[in-house]
Amino acid sequence: MSTKTKESKKIARYSLIIMGVGFTATIPFQGSFWIDLLQGGFEAGLVGGLADWFAVTALFRHPLGLRIPHTALLPNNRKRMTDALVTLLKNDWLSKESIQEKVKKIHFTEKLMVVLVKEIQTDAFKKGLIELIKQMIRYIEVEKMTPFVKKQIESALSNIEISRFIQIVSSQLIKEQFDRKALDYILKKAETWLSKEQTSHRLGTISMNVLNKIELDGILQFALKSIQNLLDEEKLGNIIKNLLLSVIKSLKHEEEPNREALILYIRNEIQVINDNSELLDSVEKWKNQLLANWEPDQKITESLRQIQQNALDLVGDEIFIDTYLIPLINHLLDNLKEKNTTIDKWIQKQIAVLIEHNHSKIGNLVQENLDKLDTDVLIDMMENNIGKDLQWIRVNGAVCGFIIGIILTGIQALASLA
């Protein structure tokens, strides 16, 4: 029982004792107007106090333990009382309509934003968020992702259009003037080879072998033999070498017509490479063979592990949260603020649906909690909450009875004098 209720009971008890003591004390002194007046007041106060004590006590228990009819009203009517309370709570105080109307007035996004903006600046939030992200990264099983990644890579490579790819390559080669670079590269390599000492002898040997295999008629054969007799392999090789070096030197000049003709030829070959069906088929076949024999599982797994570790290192860096994470969160919050009306309506709708489907459970929950309490505990709870005010009824009954008793006794005395 609460302290205030105990104090109220003491006051009520004292008021009843005062009335009883006053009534008893005035009995020997009857006959005096003032004593009779006081005795009438104490008598009425005692009756009023006792009557109110009986009424208040009868609400919670049987007075003096006597099973008087129509007493212990609350224990005897517990089910009716709890049913009425549940019905009142469900249909009036917490009706579906009242809850839904109240929910419509709540700005959920605004309230949530205030909390989030405040929390994201705290060290505890930052540390917790970093740990959460790290845990999420660690939970990723890269071995299970390897087949998926492999499948995606193979699918992407299989869908590559070789003709489109070669067309892009050829266009890029033309754009970067690969025709000129290719010719210059070939001329440079040829010049380097011709500059070697053994090149003259090789050229001479090859040329002599070619001349020996040539068969001509008459004077032409005689002239060829004469040339062979005049030139040995070394001399013939030097002649051819110098001739080729002269050609290479002339092809290096930008204004040389033969150079432009060669460049134009190379450019045309690059441009029409996409029309070479044999080449396209060969490249397509090579691509399919490569994919069929490709076993990148281990390499993909290693790459994924490295990516996972790099992600952990990045998240663990001190600048990560302030440089990347906080700006991202602020950006998301700004987007939420712009859509606060839509979000609030969605939340309100979900709550309305939840209330619609579960409103009956409110009454059931109250009923279950009330049923868990035995009668004595329930009555004690009610007496603690409303008993203080009920005890003052007893005090008021005694005081009012005293005053009314004095008035009635005075009226009676005046009536007797008349």
Domain encompassing residue 215? 174-292
Angle, alpha carbons 39-41-47 (nearest 5°): 100
Sign of CA dihedral 407, 409, 414, 418: positive
- Domain end position, chosen among 271, 292, 313: 292
Task: Tell me whether residue 113 is in a domain.
Answer: no
Task: Please state the φ and ψ torsions of residue 85, each to the nearest 5 degrees.
Answer: -65, -45
C-alpha 392/C-alpha 103 separation (Å) is 40
Quick check: is 281 in a domain?
yes
DSSP 8-state symbol, 194: H
Tell me the CB-side half-sphere exposure of residue 11, using CA atoms within 13 A: 18
Task: Please tell me the distance from the alpha carbon of residue 259 to that of residue 264, in angstroms, as a whole number.
Answer: 9
Contact 195, 185 (CB under 8 A): no
Per the structure block, which two tokens stand in for 315?
Answer: 């998240």
Q: Specify the residue for token string 């208040």.
A: 56
Least confident of 25-29, 155-159, 247-251: 25-29
**Looking at the domain assignment, is residue 105 inside a domain?**
no
327 in any annotated domain: no
My answer on whether 183 and 286 are in the same domain is yes
Spatial separation of the C-alpha atoms in residues 406 and 395, rounded to whole Å? 17
- Chain centroid offset of residue 376 CA: 49
Q: Is the pLDDT of residue 199 over 70?
A: yes
Note whether residue 127 is domain-resident. Answer: no
Answer with the one of 235, 266, 292 that is the final residue of a domain: 292
Q: What is the rounded CA–CA span in Å between residue 200 and residue 220?
A: 26
User: Which two tokens mark 367?
Assistant: 């009923």
Over residues 286-323, the pLDDT tens digits come to: 878 877 777 888 898 999 999 989 998 988 887 888 88
The token pair that represents 142 in the structure block? 């890269």
> Where a domain ends, among 264, 292, 320?
292
Residue 362 included in any domain: no
Helix axes 326-338, 340-372, angle to 10 degrees: 90
pLDDT of residue 167: 78
**pTM of the predicted structure, to 2 decimals:** 0.45
Please give the pLDDT value at position 373.
Answer: 60
Q: pLDDT > 70: what percent of the chain? A: 66
pLDDT of residue 307: 92
Give the per-residue pLDDT at 306.
Answer: 93
Examine the pLDDT at 141 and tell me if it is beyond 60. Answer: yes
| Residue type present at position 107 | H
Specify the higher pLDDT residue, 51 or 327. 327
Number of compact structural domains in the chain = 2
Q: Establish if 153 belongs to a structural domain.
A: no
pLDDT, one tens digit per residue, over 344-358 is 888 878 777 777 666
pLDDT recorded at residue 400: 72
In a domain, 71, yes or no: yes
Token pair of 412, please?
């009676």
Residues 180 and 263: beta-carbon distance below 8 Å: yes
